[in-house]
Amino acid sequence: MSPLIVDGNEACVGVAYRLNEVCAIFPITPSSTMAELADEWSSQGRANIWGSVPQVIEMQSEGGAAGTLHGALQAGALATTFTASQGLLLMIPNMYKIAGELTSAVIHVAARSIASHALSIFGDHQDVMAVRPTGFAMLASGTVQEAQDLAVIAQMATLESRVPFVHFFDGFRTSHELGGVQPLSDDDLRALIDDRLVHAHRDRALNPDRPFIRGTAQNPDVYFQGREASNPFYARTPGIVNDAMVRFGERTGRHYHLFEYHGAPDAERVVVLMGSGATTACEVVDALNAAGETVGVLQVRLYRPFDVEAFLRALPLSARMVAVLDRTKEPGAAADPLHLDVMAALAEGGRDTRTVGGRYGLSSKEFTPGMVKAVFDELSRERPRRRFVVGIDDDVGGTSLAVDASFRTEAPDVFRAVFYGLGADGTVGANKNTCKILGEDADLHVQGYFVYDSKKSGSRTVSHLRFGRTPIRSAYLVQDAQFVACHQFGFVQSIDVLGVAAPGGTFLLNSPYPPDETWARLPVVVQETIIAKRLKCWVIDATTVAREAGIPGRTNTVLQTCFFGISGVLPREEALERIKAAIAKTYGAKGTDVVQRNYAAVDATLARLQQVQVPERASGSRRLLPVVAAGAPAFVETVIAAMLAGKGDDLPVSAFPVDGTYPSATSRWEKRNISDFVAVWEPDTCIQCGNCAVVCPHAVIRVGIADAADLAAAPDGFRSAPIDERGYPTTRYTLQVYAEDCTGCALCVEACPAKDRAVSGRKAINLAPRQPLIDDARKHVAFFETLPVIERGHVDFSTVRGAQFLEPTFEFSGACAGCGETPYLSLLSRLFGDRMLVANATGCSSIYGGNLPTTPWATNAEGRGPAWSNSLFEDNAEFGLGMRLAADSQRAQAERLAGSLRQALGEDLADALVAAPQREEREIRAQRVRVATARRLLQPLAASGSPDAEHLLAVLDHFVRRSVWIVGGDGWAYDIGSGGLDHVLASGRNVNVLVLDTEVYSNTGGQASKATPLAAVAKFAASGKQTEKKDLALQAISYGNVYVARVALGANPQQTLLALREAEAYDGPSLVLAYSPCIAHGYDLRLGLDQAYRAVHSGYWPLMRYNPALRDHAANPFTLDSPRPTVAFRDYADEELRFRLLTRTNPAEAERLFAQAEAGIARRWRHYEDLAALETA
C-alpha cells in the first residue's frame, strides 16, 4: 500500500475515530486537528470498524469532555478524547476516576507545555508528566507513523488490561509534522481488536437489567485496601502491551517494544528518553558508532506502568553511564520524572550504572544532533554533571552543555529545502502539496515541518522540507539546506535567510527586479554569504507572473514550479505534470477557471526564471534593515530585537525576567511595514469626526492639536488643518497615520463620512502605496510625537469626536488586518487606560495582546497605562474578580490609614482623598493631584520611621479609582468560563466584563461555541449549528443588578462609547457584549462596518443597554438602542461564508435552519420590545 502523507494528528485520529463510538471534544492547540477531523468525519457519516458512525460532541471545556468521556465509558461505549496542555490538566479529576474504576479507554494527547511564567502552545512533556499519578498507562509515540500505530496498540492494550491509556506524541514536532504513513486498513484494525474484549467492556457497564453501583464513598477502614485491589491489573499491563506490540508486528511488519534499544550492543554510554527526540538520538548514535564510538539510545515507549525488568533487559549490561533526558521540568524535585524512574529501576536492579539527568526541548526547543552529541560527550567526562540542560545557554545556573553547532548526522542522499514565505502567500500550502507529490506519487520518504511566527497579520512562515530514499529520522529543523527559497523580497533585506544554506546550494528569490538590479539591492552581508557559500542564485518576479495568470497574490504555484524546475528532485517534465495534477486536486473544488489560471501560471513560470550572474566580490553599501526602530529602550534593543531577528534561541537565561514580567509598550518599536498600501489623510476634506481613529484596529491613526506656531518647525508635507471649533483661531488639528504600522485594512476609509467633492469615491482618508511615502511618513510621525499631548481633563469623553483626542494605550497589535475585536480594546484604553487593570482570558486577545516578541498594551505620555495579565482560559472572570478584591482591600486600607494620618495630611486633603467624587475625568485628574500632594507629605514621615506613612505610601495609588476589566472571547464567556463568569456577575462586585464576541473560537481556528449562531458552519458544527446562540445578555439581566449592554462599534460607535462609559461608571458588575467581525466569518473585513450595520438592522444583533442604576430614577433599566429591523437576516447572512457554506453543501438544510433563525430573531426582538416597553422595572 502506498504511504499516506499526513501529520501526526491525522495519523492518530484516523485510528482513534475508527475504534470508538463517542468522542467528547474541546479545541486546544496542538491537538485540535484530531477533534476537528473526528467531527468532520462524523458529520459526513463515516463509520467506525463496526459500521456505526461515532458520536462527536463538543463540550464546554476539557473538564466537560472528561466528564462526558467518563459517563460514556460507564455506560458501555468505546469512548475517547483528544487534548493537550491545560486541557489534559482539566481532565485530571476524571482520569483518577476512570483509572480507579479500571475502565478501558485511550486519551490521545499532542503533548504541550504548561502555562507557568508564560503560556506556550509548543511541545514538551510537562502536560503528560502532570497526569502520571492518575493511574493511566502512558504510551509515547516518536514519529508520525508511530502516532498511528501506537494509537491502535494502546486501544488493544486497554481493552485487554482494563487500565486506561494516555497515548501521546510531541506537540507540533510530531502532531504537525507531515510524513509518510503506511496506513492501517479497517481489516487490520478488525484483526487487531478483539471483539470479545469490547463485549467484556460493555458487560462491565451500568445496566439496569443487572444493576450495581460504582462510585461509592469509603471510610478509613476500606479505602486503602480498595486502592490496592487493582494492583494486579497494573502488573499485567506491560506484558499485555508487549503482546499487543507483537501481534501488531505480525500483522503489519512494524515491530515495537516497551523499551527500544538502538546502538552498540556493548555501549558504555547510553541516553534514555522518549518521544520524537529519540529518533534524532538514533541518528546520532549511528553516526558516532560508525566513527568508532560505542554508544546507544534507549527509547521509552511504555512509560506507565514502568516495567523495571523490561527496562533492565533493554539496557545493555555494558552501560556504565546513562544520561536520562526529560522534556519536562519539575521545579524543586530531586530529579525530573523519567530520571527518577530510571534511577529507581537501576537501583532495584542492582546495576552499577551511573546516571545523570538532563532537561531538553521545552516548548519545542530544538533538539539537534549536536545536542545529543553534547550529552554523549558529557558522559565521557570523568565527572559528568549530575544535572544539566542542553539546547539553551544557562549562564545563570551554569548547567548547560556546550554544543558543537556544526555537528551533522544526516544521510547524504537526503534533499533539504527551506522556504521563507508570508502566511498569506500560500507558501506553506504549496510545500504541503510538494510533500504529497513526492511522498505519495514519487514514492520518496518525505518530511515537512512548518514554523510560524506569532502574528495574525503579515505572519512569516518557514517551511522545512526533507526528501530521500531512506526513512527520515531527523526530528529537527533543516540545518544545511541545498535549496533555500525566499518568497518575499522584503525578508532578504531584514533577516538572515541564508544562514541555513548549505555551501554550493541553490537560492531562489522572488524579486520584483531583474537579476542585476536584484543583486544590487541585496544587503552586502547577503551578497557575501552567496559568494562565500558559492550559491547558485535564481530570481523570478512571481508576483507579476501570478498576476498575469489571473491569480494575483497567490505566488505559491509559480514558486513551487520554480522549485521543481531548478532543484532537480524530479525530472522537470514529470514534476510539471505532477504539479498540475496536484493543482487539479487542490483547486478542483474551486472551479475549473481557478484550475486553468493556476495551469497558466505553471506554464508561464520557467521562461521567466532567471539566474543571477554572481560576481566575485560583494558591492554596494546596503545593510540589513534594523529590526527595531531607533531610540528603543535597552531591553528592546537587546532581548526583543534578538527575538525579532530570529535569534531568540541564542539568548542566555540571564537575559530574561525571572517571573514572566515584561515591559509594556514594546509593539511600538517593531515597525513591521506589512502592507503595501497604507492610509493617507486629506485635511482639506476631513470633517474631524474621529471615526477613522476610533475604528482603526491597530491604533495607527492618531489625532493631535497644536498651535500654529508649534507647527512652524514641522517637516515638509506635515499635514494639519484649522480645528473645526469656534474660538480657537490659531489651533490646528492634525491626524497622523503611523504608516509603518498600518495593515491596510481600509476600515478607516469605510468609516470616513467625508467625501472629496472633486473625485467621486475619494474620502478624507484613503489608501495609497506605502513605498513612495514612507520616508516622509517616518519624519511626520517623529515630529507628531514631539507635540504636546492633549490634557485628558479637557476632552469630551461623551462623543466619538471627543474620544479621538485620547491617547490609545493599546496599539500596533499583531491581530488580523481588519480585526473586529481590537477597536474595542483601543477605545477602552483611550477611556480608562491610565487606571485600568485587565484580566485577559486566553484566546485571540491574549495572543495579539501578550505573545512575545512585542506586545501592544502601552503607556501614555505620563507613563501610565493598562496593567495586563492573562491567567488561563477557564478562570478569567475569577481572575479579574481577584484583582477587584485586591484593589478594594488596598483602597480600604488606604482610607483607614488616611484617617490615622489625618493631621499629617491635613484634614481637607485626607477627607478629599477618601470622599472626592471620581465620576468625570477632571475629577480623576484632581484626585491624581491630591495623591501626588499626599505622597510628598508622606515621604518625609515614612523616612522618619512612621509605619502608617510607609503603609499608606504602599497603597496610596489606590485612591485613584481602579477600573477592572475582564476581557475575553465568546469561547471563554459562553463556554469554558461560563460558570465563573456567572458567579462573578452574581458577586455584585464592581468589575467590568467585555466579551469580544466573534461567535467562534477564533484563536484555535474557528470552532463553534455556544455563541455561534444557528445555521452557521464552523468547525465542530460542520453540518451547520443546530441550536440558537445563547442570549448571555438576558441571562445576566436576570440578576437584576448587573449592567448589561450589547454593542456593535461598526454599526453605532456612539452607543458603544456610551455603553462602555456607563458600564465603567456603574458601581457593580457590568457585562458588555461586543459584536466582533472576524476572519472566521468568511468575508472581506474591510466591509466589517457594513456587516455590523446589517447585523444590527436585521435584528440579529439588537443593540441594548440594561442599567440597573436607572431604577433609582424610577425609569426602565432596559433601553433598546436599535431601530426595528429593516434588513432581512438573509441579506446579512448571505455576505458571510459561514452561512453560505451550508447553502452550498446542503441547501435544503440551510433553508430549514435559516427559517428557524429568522423565527428566532423575530421572537427575540418581540421579547426585547416588550422589555423596553415596561415603564419601570
Partner 1 sequence: MTDLSTTYLGLSLAHPIVASASPLGKSLDGVRSLEDGGAAAVVLASVFEEQILMDNASFARYLDAGTQSVAESLSYFPSVDTTPAGPEEYLRFIGDARTAVHVPVIASLNGSTDAGWVDYASQIERAGASALELNIFHLPVDPTETGRSVEERAVRTVEAIRRTIRIPLAVKVGPYFSAMGEMAARFAAAGADGLVLFNRFYQPDFDLDKLEVEPSLALSSPTEIRLPLFWIAALRGRVGLSLGATTGVATFREVVKYLLAGADVVMTTAALLRHGPGHLAVLRDGLRTWMEERAYASVAELRGAMSRANVADPSAFDRANYVRILNSWR
Binding site for partner 1 (CB under 8 A): 29-30, 32-33, 36, 39-40, 43-44, 121-122, 172, 176, 422-424, 426-429, 432, 450, 452, 454-456, 459, 461, 587-594, 755, 757, 760-761, 816, 847, 1002-1006, 1017-1020, 1022, 1079-1080, 1082-1084, 1137-1138, 1140-1141, 1144-1145, 1147
Using the minimum distance from each CB to partner 1, give the nearer residue, 1016 or 1044: 1016
CB 1083 within 8 A of CB 1139: no
* Cβ atoms of residues 297 and 126 within 8 Å: no
- Residues annotated as catalytic are 29, 62, 112, 1003
Residue (373 or 554) nearer to partner 1, CB: 554
What 8-state DSSP symbol labels residue 957?
A: G
Closer by beta carbon to partner 1, 47 or else 606: 47
Q: How far is the CB of 36 from partner 1 (least distance, A)?
A: 7
In degrees and rounded to multiples of 5, residue 660 shows phi and psi of 75, 15
Backbone angles phi, psi at 264, to 5 degrees: -70, 135
Q: Which is nearer to partner 1, 674 or 692 (CB)?
A: 674
The least distance separating partner 1 from the CB of residue 590, rounded to whole angstroms, comes to 4
Q: What's the rounded Cα separation, in Å, for the pair 999 and 1017?
A: 11
| Closer residue to partner 1 (CB): 763 or 770 | 763
Residue 601 backbone phi and psi in degrees, to 5:
-65, -45
| Separation CA 661–CA 707 (nearest Å) | 40
Residue 410, SS3? coil
Tell me, rounded to whole angstroms, the distance of Cα 469 from its chain centroid: 35
Closest separation in Å from C-beta 451 to partner 1: 8
Q: What is the CA radius of gyration of the chain?
A: 32
Smallest distance from the beta carbon of 929 to partner 1, in angstroms? 46
Can you tell me whether residue 415 is helix, strand or coil? strand
**Please, what's the b/e burial string for 1-34 (b: 16 or more CB within 10 A of its CB; e: otherwise)?**
eebbbbbbbbbbbbbbbbbbbbbbbbbbbbbbbb
Task: State the minimum distance, in angstroms, from the CB of residue 1035 to partner 1.
Answer: 28
Q: DSSP states of 450-489 as a string?
A: EEE-S-SSS-EEEEEEEEESS-----S--SSEEEEEES-H
C-alpha cell at 203: 458487560
- Residue 43 CB, shortest distance to partner 1, in Å, is 8
Q: In a 3-state reduction of DSSP, which class is residue 1055?
A: helix
Give the torsion through C-alpha atoms of 489, 494, 498, 500, to 10 deg: -120
- Residue closer to partner 1 by CB (options 310, 754) is 754
CB of 952 to partner 1, least distance (A): 46
Cα–Cα dist 1031/1027, whole Å = 12
CA-closest candidate to residue 1065, choices 1033, 1110, 1101, 1103: 1110
Q: How far is the CB of 1001 from partner 1 (least distance, A)?
A: 9
User: Closer to partner 1 at the Cβ: 561 or 1002?
Assistant: 1002
Q: Locate 33 and state its grid cell.
A: 486537528
Q: Provide, rounded to whole angstroms, the least separation between the CB of residue 18 and partner 1.
A: 18
Residue that is written with C-alpha cell 506605502 in the block: 770
Nearest to 1053 by CA among 799, 744, 813: 799
- Our CB check for partner 1 shows the closer of 847 and 858 to be 847
Q: Which is nearer to partner 1, 358 or 1006 (CB)?
A: 1006
CA separation for the pair 98, 797 (Å, rounded): 56
**Between residues 42 and 561, which has the closer beta carbon with respect to partner 1?**
42
Name the helix (H) or strand (E) containing 79: strand 79-83
Q: DSSP secondary structure string, 981-1019?
A: HHHHHHT----EEEEEE-SEETTTT-EE-TTSPTT--BB
- Least distance from partner 1 to the Cβ atom of residue 40, Å: 5
At closest approach, how far in Å is the CB of 852 from partner 1?
A: 14
SS (H, E, C) 1056-1116: HHHHHHHHHHCCCCEEEEEECCCHHHCCCHHHHHHHHHHHHHCCCCCCEEECHHHHHHCCC
Would you put residue 365 in left (φ > 0), alpha (ψ -120 to 50) or beta?
beta
Nearest to 914 by CA among 883, 958, 947: 958
CA angle 1031, 1037, 1042 (to 5 degrees): 125
What's the min distance (Å) between Cβ of 744 and partner 1? 15
CB of 1138 to partner 1, least distance (A): 7
Count of beta carbons in the 10 Å neighbourhood of residue 609: 19
Task: Find the angle CA(704)-CA(708)-CA(712) to the nearest 5 degrees.
Answer: 105
Closer by beta carbon to partner 1, 829 or else 1012? 1012
Nearer to partner 1 by Cβ, of 594 and 645: the residue is 594
Which parts of 816-901 fold into alpha helices (H)?
Answer: 822-832, 844-850, 876-900
For 770-878, strand residue ranges (E) read: 836-840, 867-869
Q: Which helix (H) or strand (E) holds 577?
A: helix 572-587
In the complex with partner 1, the residue whose CB is nearer, 104 or 463, is 463
Check if the beta carbon of residue 601 is closer than 8 Å to that of residue 557.
yes
